[in-house]
Amino acid sequence: MDFGTVVHTDTASGAPLALLVCEHASKRVPASLGDMGLSAEALDSHIAWDPGALAVAQQMTAQMSASLVYGGVSRLVYDCNRPPEAAGAMPTKSEDFDIPANVAMSPEERQSRIDNIYTVFSRELSDQIKQSRSSLDLMVTIHSFTPVYHGKPRSVELGLLHGRDDRFAQAMMTTLPSDPPFVTRLNQPYSAADGVAHTLDAQALPNGLLNVMIEIRNDLIQTSDQQAAMASYLVPWITETLAGFQERKTL
């Protein structure tokens, strides 16, 4: 099965300190899958992708020494932040929507999506980490979440999430400005217990990279001005937090 471009990589010059990852950057559904049995509205909504997340990540790479790996297909086809064995990897249901194309899926098609999307995405991440091993200290995954979920508004605006290694997320909470411009919470609106730390645990942890997942409420990053402002807020905060670790390393 041909799914077209499944992963994009922007490789930074020199010695990147950070690898940014945006698993849910794209809402593209390959032509071979038609509309997956979904309405145009569903295919455009947050169940298909993380609106605004890619633009923020791209703005961040322009402001810091970082490479960026981002997905090229909708999370409805394969959610690259989930291992193949997870139910959410090729979800049959997302929030209020059934996903017909994922209910009526043959074992061959399931395997083809794993091989041609997840494996290709994972391998590209591993290769980028290998390429920059001498300079790389940090992985940051950038996500966005919907302001209203199952009809309930969410008050949290920025979530810092961690997987098995909580050091960077905890350190960012410590370096949080005393009067932060956004309502910021650790492990909200969900946490690793919800299975969202796969990329961090599978790729950053075994490679000794500090790591954190940043979740941004998507109504805050709708315009390119908002996206640039969010990047300009996150980059110095991340850089300062990272500098704290580097000082400790050289002691």
Write the CA distances from 231 to 4, 66, 201, integer angstroms.
29, 13, 24
Q: Which is nearer to a second copy, 22 or 220 (CB)?
A: 22
User: 21 - beta bridge partners?
Assistant: 69, 141
CB of 195 to a second copy, least distance (A): 24
Q: Which is nearer to a second copy, 14 or 151 (CB)?
A: 14
Q: Would you state the structure tokens that stand for residue 156, as one six-digit string?
A: 């949290």
Residues lying near a second copy in the complex (CB under 8 A) are found at 1-14, 30, 61-62, 65, 67-68, 72-73, 112, 115-117, 120, 123-124, 127, 131
β-pairing, 184-186 vs 158-161, is parallel
Min dist CB 58 to a second copy, Å, is 9
| Kind and range of the H or E run holding 242 | helix 224-250
Least CB distance to a second copy at residue 94 (A): 22
Distance CA 37, CA 13 (A): 42
86: left (phi over 0), alpha (psi -120 to 50) or beta: beta
Q: State the minimum distance, in angstroms, from the CB of residue 5 to a second copy.
A: 4
Residue nearer to a second copy on the CB measure, 32 or 224: 32
Query: Between residues 135 and 223, which has the closer beta carbon with respect to a second copy?
Result: 135
Compute the distance between CA of residue 54 and CA of residue 21 in angstroms, rounded to an integer.
Answer: 9
Least Å from the CB of residue 237 to a second copy: 20
Residue 21 or 160: the one with the smaller Cβ distance to a second copy is 21
